[in-house]
Amino acid sequence: MATEPRLSADFWVRAYLARLALANIPAYIIHRGDATAGAVLVKCATLDGRARAFQHGFDLASGARVWTTLVNGPEPEVDAAIARQRQYDPDLWVIEIESRVGRTLLDEEGLSG
């Protein structure tokens, strides 16, 4: 079975930040991971003391890559969960978005899978 070509993590992150900027959604790199193959976590802070963190995973039914919620709740709890993930994976990228309505664009074409 041939594997599908993948973008480097650095390239994907730069493209994602550009798409967020075009949508006027503030976003920041909180932690730079491995430029080639680092995994990416996306934290969305809704500016009301709550946040949600998303990670890339696989849909078991279809085998497709999808974004799933890692943790959702008070922002300090989300930050603690992200810190634990970084302990396990020092190559991890962490992107933080600030959006009162929780908009991440992760469900849009080119970012969802």
Query: Which tens digits make up the pLDDT trace of 89-109?
Result: 999 999 999 999 999 999 888
> Tokens in use for 82?
């992200």
Q: Give the residue with greater pLDDT, 60 vs 25.
A: 25
pTM of the model: 0.88
pLDDT at 3: 53
Chain Cα centroid distance, residue 31: 11
pLDDT at 4 over 60: no
Of 77, 86, 53, whose CA–CA distance to 67 is shortest? 53
62's CB contacts (< 8 A; 6+ apart) are none
DSSP 16: H
Helix (H, G, I), strand (E, B) or coil at 94: strand
pLDDT at 85: 95
Structural domains of the chain, ranges and CATH numbers in brackets = 9-98 (3.40.1530.20)
pLDDT at 5: 57
pLDDT at 112: 61
| pLDDT tens digits for range 46-88 | 999 999 999 987 777 777 778 999 999 999 999 999 999 999 9
pLDDT at 43 over 70: yes
pLDDT at 8 over 90: no
Q: What is the mean pLDDT of residues 5-9?
A: 75
